[in-house]
Structure 1
Amino acid sequence: LSVSAPSDKAERLHELLREPPPVPRAFPEAVAECWEDEREDICTACGLRPQGHGAPNNFYRDKARERGVCYLCLKRRAQRAEAWACEKGPEWYRTIWIDEVSDRNGRLVLLVGRFDLTNWLDGRHVKTLLVRTGKDQDDYVSKNPSFARLRRVWETTKRFWEAVNEEDIPLFIETSCRRVEVRPEDRDTVKDNLGDYHVYEADLAGVRTSLVWDPDRNRFLSADNLCRLAEVIAGPGAAGLCEPSKAVDLVCNRLGKLDKIPLYEPGGYGRVRQPHVVFRPRETRVIKQSYTPTIPILAEPATFMALIPADRALEVAHKIKKRFETEMGKVRNRLPFFLGLVFFDRRQPLFSAVDAARRMLASELPPESWAVRYTRRIGKTVCEIVFQNGISWQVPVVMGDFNTHDDWYPYYLVEKDAAGRAPSWRRLRFSLEEAGEERYWIHVEDLAPYDRVKVYPARFAYLHLDTSARRFEAGSRPFRLLEELDEMVRLWQDLEITARAGRLTDTGLRGIEALFENKREMWGLNEPSKDAGSRRQRAERDHSSLVFAELVKATLRKERLEDVVQPEQVTNGVLTGTLDLYMRIMKRRLADFTQKEV
């Protein structure tokens, strides 16, 4: 750590935060001492010590080797599991196990987000907030970027993510999930052969699940999604297991009926699975305390991470979007915001998902120039601004008392008006110098059609880690606008309604999408457009785009979907993204709705 130069305005704070923290380095002498007379592989957790190093006896040394870690890392894992098994504290009422977070398809999501506060912490955007207004330009006084104000910016954005963890995520995720407890008959045999608070794979007559050994209470605790496990036990066509209470009863009954339960070490790819110990269950019961299947990881303004079930990811993301629009609506045009979803299987290494998330968070969130179509007042508290690209924002224009008009916050940087001039004549406006040039900030209600405004649009992205190598694609493709998330949710809802009416099936929808994608590929429309090239090449691409648009319209009319899917949703990729998210990743099917109607 280093202390910045003394300043009332913390002028170097943004510079220090922009610099990456120094890479943590271990003491070379201590690491070298660990490797004396050692021939083991390196620990997969810390990457410093040999596997099994530091164990007090051969039993724990072998345990650490089996799990590919050193004894210190093995002990740290056990400490967290021990705190979880005490049935109190945030670890118990949420979870620490990825298998418990996964949905019925065995998938989960690493939810990530960030605010880019670069221009706020250096004071530039703090100056766009006013402390005084008046009739004349000289009466407008900007806020001074003092350290106290910069701190409030940081704390406000931090509270935003804390509210997401405490309010938004539990709102859409099942909070009545329960666990099962199994007590073995041969306690001494189990205790002598198992590591304290280690997780093992149990074979329940051909169905695998995760059990954690709690030696202090002589029991095993389930560490799995019991709804998914119950569906596997019941087999195909099982009904009525959507409720956690029914699912946990089925699993508890299955455990109680087994004569013997073999336990295996969680093995990696290619490792031969051999029973580690076999025990006979003496008693099984359902634990009354419920838990919420989510794992908060980090909640800072520039980095938010949390693990949630994949089947609830879009609902949670939609709620976060609504919170952002409500709480940050007055400054959203100058507050860069990103929200990302990394889908992965419960057997996928968590490192791959975290690495993909970091690549997303490291991407730039550049500003754009949008043209205003019109603005209008909605009620007494909101002004809607509609842009030429079809995006609309609802901006609050009153203070917290819902009565006083807000003349201090909702201002937009207008680069030029319809005539190409600086709008220096607007009623509510002030000017700031930027790059040696005077720029005008106009109140949202004084914006005029065809004004070109500089905005930092909120961004959205998702990635499906079907393989670990897919993480290298994170951040390489252009992000979507956050507003497209609403569009994809509405489109899927419309497709569901159409399926209930018997006008659409999974096969038909996939066929339509395949037709569009094949034509895109054949005509080179999937390649990014380039301004360079001959006039003939540009003309051919424009012609292909027009023909493709006509093909889309004709196909939608033929399939009677023109009132469900808009042609623009096909050409801009919204339809492909919707089907990718719902059908391929979250395993939703339109057939589920048609079958229910029958």
Structure 2
Amino acid sequence: MGESRLKELVKHRDVILLAEIGALIHDIGKLSVEFIRTKSPENPPNEKDKHEKDKHEKDKHAQWVFEWHSQLERLLNNFKIHVKGIQVSTKEGKQSTNAEISLIKLIKEHHNTEYIKFDERQMTNSDYAKKYLMTLFSRAADGIDSGIDKGAVLDKGKQPFNQTYISTSFGYEFKRIEVEKEELRNKREEFVRVLEEVLTSLNNLLSAGKVPEDNPESKWIELRSKLYKKAKECFSYGLGETRRSANDVTLWDHSHSTASLYKTALANVILSGEWKDPSQVKWKLLLIRFNGLDYIFRGVKIGDIEGRKEAINDASKEVRKLLEVEVPLGNEIYRDENGLVFLVPGSLEDTTLDVTLDDGRTYPLKEKRTHSLKEKIYGIFNDKTKGELKPVIKITEESSRGAAILGYSLEKYKVIYNRPFEDEIKKKWEHSQDEVVCSVCGLKPADQKEKICEDCKELRKSRAVEWAKNRKEQTASTIWIDEIRDKNNRIGIIAGVFDLGFWLNGMWLNTCFTKTLEDLKEEKKDIFNSINSWEDLISAVEEALMLNNPNAELTKFKKPDNSGIKVKELLKALGGESYHNQPANEYFEAIVVNREGEILKELYGIDVTNAAPREKAELLVLFLMRKNPSFARIRRIWETCNRFWERVRMDVIEYLRNRGTRTRYKIVLDQESEKEIKRLLEGNKISKYRAYEIRAGNLRFPVVIVEDDLLLVDYVEDEDEKKEIENALKNEFELYEPSDYGYHSIKIYPVEREHQERLKCEKLVEDSRYIPFFSIIEDYPSINAFIVPLEDAWEIVKKIKKLYEIEFSKVQNRLPLKLGFFAMNRKYPLYSALDCVEKFRSEDAGVYEWKIKDSHRAESEEICRNFDDRLGNYVQKLVLESESRELTLYVSYSLGDSSGEDEFYPYFVTSSSSILLYADVCKNVLNLPVNKVSVKHVKELSKDDRVVFIPSIFDFELLDSNIRRFDLGKDRSHRLFTKSKNKPKPYLLWDIDNFERLRELIEKLGLTTSQVMNLYEMLIAKIEEWDLKELSRDETFKKFVENAIKSTPLRLIVINGESERGKISKEDYEFLKASIMNGIFFDFVDLWHTVLKEKFGKE
């Protein structure tokens, strides 16, 4: 593919972007109460609807929108998608053809079946060619996205008009569509106002006869960004499909994915120069990847981290502009801390990225006028990251019509080590003299005094400038660690991690369903009368594949009247609208092979070209019953996680605000001191927006200069401390370079030999108020981290745990949360603390096979008390055990309206059977003998069932020395259990409840800090003296523990009743003893007393 085809793509930019807008808004009529009503069980279709051939007559939402918004119809009539010069092979040779469609027609008639069938031989017919773009939309965008999203949902899943809920991708029905408040109408009108503004501007931009703008793509970028922002905001209130379980894909998810698919399909036609059969159009992925945390965590100060995050964000924005608008190959479909992924045409090859394209514009690689796409992307990253971060740019070899390729490719092209732009770094060293390597980036030359290069210094300063500009906003946080510290001079980094790999590659979606066999038997009684299990269903489809004749009858299964079931009846009942009376093997090709054929062998270990009918049947049944990994659903998965972390941040900020905002003070100097500061600034002895240290006697405080003001950026606890600082600074103070800019702190003013006057403060006055919070990592689905005062860390950890248990209740066994916090002094090196966060990501409980110890439906009072009544009426309480570990789990199987039970999400993997999982994962991660499993609904689990359960973990560490960070990671070490197989760290997430229970128990028993510490020290001494390796199995130590509880030092009496001062119930006694034997007690004491510096009991 040469430069000419890329030029054609740029030449068709307006066409592609208009088509994208048409696809984005094609279902705008669904943002209405009327749509919800027509899809509800209260409004069943009449006979005419049931037999209507032209589907667009039935789906009236495509017509309603123009009855409500006549001005919009007039505007859309101005725009046509017109593709020119596409070649078709005829008997006479190659012939150039054109195709066009109006945007208004795309919206009004996108469900019209007249446009579904494609015949290349008719493309020379001008009338037929004009219809091609609708065919492309139906078969390669809207049809495939909505078809894969919904699977074959049943009418049983219809939601009541007043009780229609939006679900997350994990089954949490968090929002009811408030039809009584006209919420949808308001959002639609809000969106249409912006849409009309954008269309009016585009009409002016594209009108014939007008002088074109010098840079029309910049206008496109502005208008498109405005439209997408408003579409995401408004469309997120609606649904593309209201029936369960397809209600996890919002109108935004569906519209964005459809627009991306159509855009890419159209780009594919233009790039290849050939009309493509829409049913065969495939896509590839363009990955731009790096190790984001490695780059960001090189920062030694908060300002460095902020600057590096912003550099990645800026580069990502520019790349999106390039690939989505300037050279419109496709849209971004995924992003995380390690880069971006774009959906691109299946005809695109890696070599295409190296083809030069002269578009008359210059990019950061200024020595060339012509650039390949790869050079442009490199140029953007080179410019924004100052030569430090050269991404890996790769187009997947595999193409697909499905989205499972995303997770597969993320793992395949994972970047471990970053690389810089070597030529750029070499240039920095060409004229260096007596310089050292920068302490931040570790690449460029830096002044020996400051140890930081000019680029890193500029990044740091830019964030300080931004902070200064926004510091007086009501919700302002801070970028200064000293402002976050607590009264004990300590901070906490809280980190949360989701491992989304098995969701992004679609594997765990194999255990979530669009329908159940019971639903099929209820709604299609004739067909599924004698099919009573998943294995029966596979056997029926296996026979259908072997017969391969739509009209042939199955022999193994019959209707209730003993008449035969035709192959086409079975497949229609299973596949719904996706089945078109074709032979079973053709249907298998369309549903399975066309979607994921190129990676099926990698995923399932099945070669579909030589697969036996049984293997084909297992795949086809799975693909028709599961929740399919469409691009809309995969996007919904990672955006759900993104929104979870956003809620966590907002909740934490609100919690800290309620705890009390803090005051930042300005140091008002006397006149002489003001003059001295100005002289120092003018003489470049000091700089604005940079931290310094002032010293008054034995007191030291961090300050920063904002304009001409000296701001104290330290936590001032109360009015008494403010007065103490004020009095100290009134005498006199000195100005120092802080030690962490170099190896030693250097005095700046006064310099003794120059006999300079000391600096003096007149008073401290309030400058602004702030919340003690800094977000280290945000806006990514898989990881979130922030800094808070250490004294608040425990309460925040508990809040995050509860939010996770509510929103991810149904998938806690398949989507684990890793939650940890790291305590440190405010002077502890930040880069070392961030290294802990990175190491923490690899921690794992390491136990995936669990046994059900108890299973029963939870009591309503218990649910309400523990989860704020947000889990619904149907909740199963499970007690699971594995080796020496035990946990209690609450799994919701409620729907949003509490009217029934969720049959789609809350499943556990149990014994071997016929549901396929990915072969490599089963063998190397889950340690399963085969990749065919069975699943059980949570309410059906019973005592002694064995299940696959990937548990969430909790960990904490006191970073009292730099080497402590090496305890963390995949091979987690513990100071007391270095030789134990059952070392307690990392803990299970649910052990947070055990920590809390210990705290409450000590308080109930009235134990003092002295008693608890005496017990702690006595037990540790005995462990060391006896060189114990496995506490839980040592009977002698167990007896010693029992004696310690009943005698010295606790002297507790075991009773039948409730625990109270001096008396402990039998249940609490066993719990306390078990906590000591499994190690929780020791870590609880460390956490509460040593880390959080709290006292025990009621002291």
Q: TM-score, normalising length from structure 1?
A: 0.82
2:996 aligned residue: 489
Residues 1:261 and 2:733 aligned together: yes
Partner SS, residue 894 of structure 2: coil
Q: 1:438-465: CA deviations, max 9, x gaps?
A: 3210111111111011101111111111
Contact 2:472 2:769 in 1 (8 A): no
Structure 1 residues 100 and 363 mapped into 2: Cα distance closer, same or farther (>3 Å)? same
Counterpart residue identity of residue 709, structure 2: R
CA deviation after TM superposition for structure 1 residue 551, in Å: 0.9
Q: 1:85-137: CA deviations, max 9, x gaps?
A: 22447798100011111111111111111111121122110111111124343
CA deviation after TM superposition for structure 1 residue 298, in Å: 1.1
Match of 2:492 among 109, 123, 130: 109
Question: How many Å separate the matches in 1 of 2:504 and 2:724?
Answer: 53
Partner SS, residue 414 of structure 1: strand
Partner SS, residue 493 of structure 1: helix
Which is bigger in relative contact order (C-alpha 8 A, separation at least 6)? 1
1:427 aligned residue: none
1:147 aligned residue: 631
Q: 1:329-364: CA deviations, max 9, x gaps?
A: 101111122111111111111000011110111234
Partner SS, residue 279 of structure 1: coil
CA deviation after TM superposition for structure 1 residue 248, in Å: 6.5
Structure 1 residues 48 and 390 mapped into 2: Cα distance closer, same or farther (>3 Å)? closer
1:554 aligned residue: 1043
Contact 2:738 2:745 in 1 (8 A): no
Question: How many Å separate the matches in 2 of 1:322 and 1:79?
Answer: 37
Partner SS, residue 908 of structure 2: strand
Residues 1:191 and 2:678 aligned together: yes
CA deviation after TM superposition for structure 1 residue 320, in Å: 0.6
Structure 1 residues 181 and 272 mapped into 2: Cα distance closer, same or farther (>3 Å)? closer
Following superposition of structure 1 onto structure 2, how do residues 538-577 of structure 1 map, counting pairs within 5 Å? 542=1033, 545-558=1034-1047, 559-561=1050-1052, 563=1064, 566-577=1072-1083
2:712 aligned residue: 222
Question: How many Å separate the matches in 1 of 2:907 and 2:939?
Answer: 9
Residues 1:329 and 2:802 aligned together: no
Contact 1:95 1:292 in 2 (8 A): yes
Structure 1 residues 220 and 27 mapped into 2: Cα distance closer, same or farther (>3 Å)? same
1:212 aligned residue: 704
1:29 aligned residue: 423
Question: How many Å separate the matches in 1 of 2:435 and 2:828?
Answer: 25
Contact 2:880 2:888 in 1 (8 A): yes
Match of 2:477 among 83, 86, 94: 94
Question: How many Å separate the matches in 2 of 1:83 and 1:247?
Answer: 31
Counterpart residue identity of residue 654, structure 2: P
Gaps of at least 5 residues in structure 2 are 1-287, 289-393, 519-531, 538-573, 575-623, 681-685, 751-757, 861-872, 920-929, 973-984, 1055-1063
Question: How many Å separate the matches in 1 of 2:886 and 2:836?
Answer: 31
Contact 2:845 2:987 in 1 (8 A): no
Residues 1:297 and 2:793 aligned together: no
CA deviation after TM superposition for structure 1 residue 573, in Å: 0.8
Contact 2:877 2:889 in 1 (8 A): yes
CA deviation after TM superposition for structure 1 residue 413, in Å: 1.1
Contact 2:726 2:761 in 1 (8 A): no
Question: How many Å separate the matches in 2 of 1:304 and 1:89?
Answer: 25
Contact 1:175 1:293 in 2 (8 A): no
CA deviation after TM superposition for structure 1 residue 274, in Å: 3.1
Question: How many Å separate the matches in 2 of 1:305 and 1:485?
Answer: 19
Following superposition of structure 1 onto structure 2, how do residues 433-512 of structure 1 map, counting pairs within 5 Å? 435=919, 436=930, 438-475=932-969, 476-477=971-972, 478-498=985-1005, 501=1006, 504-512=1007-1015
Q: Which moved more, 1:489-498 or 1:192-201?
A: 489-498
CA deviation after TM superposition for structure 1 residue 581, in Å: 0.8
Structure 1 residues 453 and 37 mapped into 2: Cα distance closer, same or farther (>3 Å)? closer
Contact 2:732 2:761 in 1 (8 A): yes
1:285 aligned residue: 765
What do you get for the CA RMSD once the two structures are aligned? 2.6
Corresponding pairs, count: 530
Counterpart residue identity of residue 485, structure 1: I
2:28 aligned residue: none
Question: How many Å separate the matches in 2 of 1:270 and 1:94?
Answer: 29
Question: How many Å separate the matches in 2 of 1:349 and 1:160?
Answer: 29
Match of 2:444 among 49, 61, 66: 49
CA deviation after TM superposition for structure 1 residue 270, in Å: 6.6
Partner SS, residue 158 of structure 1: helix
CA deviation after TM superposition for structure 1 residue 252, in Å: 6.5
Q: 1:19-59: CA deviations, max 9, x gaps?
A: 4336443333333333324112211112222223xxxxxxx
Structure 1 residues 67 and 528 mapped into 2: Cα distance closer, same or farther (>3 Å)? farther
Contact 2:439 2:452 in 1 (8 A): yes
CA deviation after TM superposition for structure 1 residue 265, in Å: 1.1
Q: 1:165-224: CA deviations, max 9, x gaps?
A: 11135315634111101132233321232211111112234221111111x2x2111211
Question: How many Å separate the matches in 1 of 2:510 and 2:638?
Answer: 16
Following superposition of structure 1 onto structure 2, how do residues 114-193 of structure 1 map, counting pairs within 5 Å? 114-135=497-518, 136-137=532-533, 138=537, 141-172=625-656, 174-184=659-669, 185=671, 186-193=673-680
Question: How many Å separate the matches in 2 of 1:547 and 1:206?
Answer: 53
Larger Rg: 2
Partner SS, residue 1086 of structure 2: helix
Counterpart residue identity of residue 209, structure 1: F
CA deviation after TM superposition for structure 1 residue 522, in Å: 2.7
CA deviation after TM superposition for structure 1 residue 497, in Å: 4.5
Q: Which moved more, 1:360-369 or 1:473-482?
A: 360-369
Counterpart residue identity of residue 421, structure 2: F
Question: How many Å separate the matches in 2 of 1:447 and 1:308?
Answer: 41
1:62 aligned residue: none
Contact 2:726 2:763 in 1 (8 A): no
Match of 1:516 among 1019, 1029, 1037: 1019
Partner SS, residue 832 of structure 2: helix
Partner SS, residue 348 of structure 1: coil
Residues 1:319 and 2:799 aligned together: yes
1:582 aligned residue: 1088
Counterpart residue identity of residue 848, structure 2: E
Match of 2:880 among 341, 364, 387: 387
Question: How many Å separate the matches in 2 of 1:465 and 1:105?
Answer: 14
Question: How many Å separate the matches in 2 of 1:224 and 1:413?
Answer: 52
Structure 1 residues 346 and 495 mapped into 2: Cα distance closer, same or farther (>3 Å)? same
Structure 1 residues 82 and 408 mapped into 2: Cα distance closer, same or farther (>3 Å)? same
Counterpart residue identity of residue 735, structure 2: L
Partner SS, residue 932 of structure 2: strand
Structure 1 residues 251 and 384 mapped into 2: Cα distance closer, same or farther (>3 Å)? same
Q: Which moved more, 1:450-459 or 1:43-52?
A: 43-52
Contact 2:692 2:702 in 1 (8 A): yes
Counterpart residue identity of residue 189, structure 1: E
Counterpart residue identity of residue 449, structure 1: K
Partner SS, residue 14 of structure 1: helix
Structure 1 residues 95 and 450 mapped into 2: Cα distance closer, same or farther (>3 Å)? same
Structure 1 residues 587 and 153 mapped into 2: Cα distance closer, same or farther (>3 Å)? same
Q: TM-score, normalising length from structure 2?
A: 0.46
Question: How many Å separate the matches in 1 of 2:948 and 2:1014?
Answer: 41
